[in-house]
């Protein structure tokens, strides 16, 4: 009995190593395909990569696939939706094999699915929250750069492009995404609303609402963005002070 348990544990370890190897291979294949597409006609891709790309395109055409893609992009996850699903499926198989040591097969499968999906969701949500906090911290600079662009006579897309060049990530990435959506013919309000859905926050909602109102109804855009930038800066300082004051009580409660 002990030998069977040891053999099963060895099998689980081998499967874990195989899963890591597959993930490394897929990541390396993606980089090679990107380099090949930049330097050549793009027909040097492997069969596996082409198959994954086709599956990813079909998945993105569905409503759930688009939602999954938006969810992953909001957390800057370096995986395509189909790769993410394959990773979750592989982790489910490995966990189910390990759980059969202690549970019946059906219960082991249920526990493995719950653990794999829960861990993947928690990982992506943690990345989303960290990226959203970083972006919210950059919002005063975003408002200030947009106000400077408007005061210089630039249009809103040109001011957004200026902010994309001057800011660091993640604000630069989000600004470039908005510019790309505007270039393909998407209206300004829809492009800004798409960014708000990727990074939902009250501060970003206020900034997007101000930009949309100024774009539609007109007005003193420079003054509105300048005052909004000062308000966001004051809010950031206030939140930092509150976090500092509550850190002692939170740490004591954990103890």
**One-character DSSP codes across 202-248:** HHHHHHHHHHHHHHHH---HHHHHHHHHHHHHHHHHHHHHHHHHHHH
C-alpha–C-alpha distance, residues 219 and 250, integer Å: 45
Q: Given CA atoms 2, 3, 4, 5 in this order, what sign does their dihedral have?
A: positive
Output the tens digit of pLDDT for each of the chain's 255 residues: 455 555 556 566 666 666 656 556 555 555 555 555 544 444 444 567 777 788 878 888 888 888 888 888 877 788 888 888 888 888 888 888 887 878 788 888 888 888 888 888 998 888 888 888 888 888 888 888 888 887 887 777 888 888 888 888 888 888 888 888 888 888 877 888 888 888 888 888 888 887 777 777 666 777 888 888 888 888 888 888 888 888 888 888 888
CB 53 within 8 A of CB 72: no
Alpha-carbon torsion, ordered 105, 111, 116, 122, to 10 deg: 180
- Is the torsion defined by CA of 161, 167, 173, 175 positive or negative? negative
**149: closest CA among 138, 158, 141?**
158
Distance of alpha carbon 222 from alpha carbon 233, whole angstroms: 16
Residue 25: count of CB within 10 angstroms of its CB: 13
What is the Cα–Cα distance from 144 to 225, expressed in whole angstroms? 7
Q: What are phi and psi of 132, to 5 degrees?
A: -65, -40
Q: What is the DSSP letter of 89?
A: H
pTM greater than the 0.75 cutoff: no
């Amino acid at each position: 009995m002990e030998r069977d348990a040891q053999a099963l544990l060895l099998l689980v370890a081998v499967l874990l190593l195989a899963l890591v190897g597959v993930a490394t291979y897929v990541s390396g294949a993606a980089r090679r395909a990107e380099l090949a597409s930049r330097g050549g006609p793009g027909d040097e891709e492997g069969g596996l990569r082409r198959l994954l790309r086709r599956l990813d395109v079909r998945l993105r055409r569905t409503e759930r696939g688009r939602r999954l893609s938006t969810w992953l992009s909001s957390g800057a996850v370096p995986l395509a939706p189909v790769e993410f699903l394959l990773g979750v499926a592989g982790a489910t198989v490995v966990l189910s094999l390990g759980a059969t040591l202690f549970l019946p097969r059906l219960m082991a499968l249920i526990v493995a699915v719950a653990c794999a999906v829960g861990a993947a969701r928690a990982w992506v949500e943690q990345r989303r929250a960290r990226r959203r906090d970083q972006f919210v911290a950059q919002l005063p600079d975003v408002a200030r750069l947009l106000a400077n662009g408007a005061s210089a006579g630039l249009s809103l897309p040109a001011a957004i492009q200026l902010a994309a060049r001057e800011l660091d990530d993640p604000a630069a990435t989000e600004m470039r995404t908005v510019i790309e959506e505007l270039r393909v013919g998407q209206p300004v309000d829809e492009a800004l609303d798409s960014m708000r859905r990727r990074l939902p926050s009250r501060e970003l909602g206020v900034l997007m609402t101000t930009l949309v109102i100024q774009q539609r109804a007109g007005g003193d855009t420079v003054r509105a963005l300048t005052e909004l930038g000062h308000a966001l800066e004051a809010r950031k300082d206030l939140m930092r002070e509150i976090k500092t004051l509550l850190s002692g009580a939170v740490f004591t409660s954990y103890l």
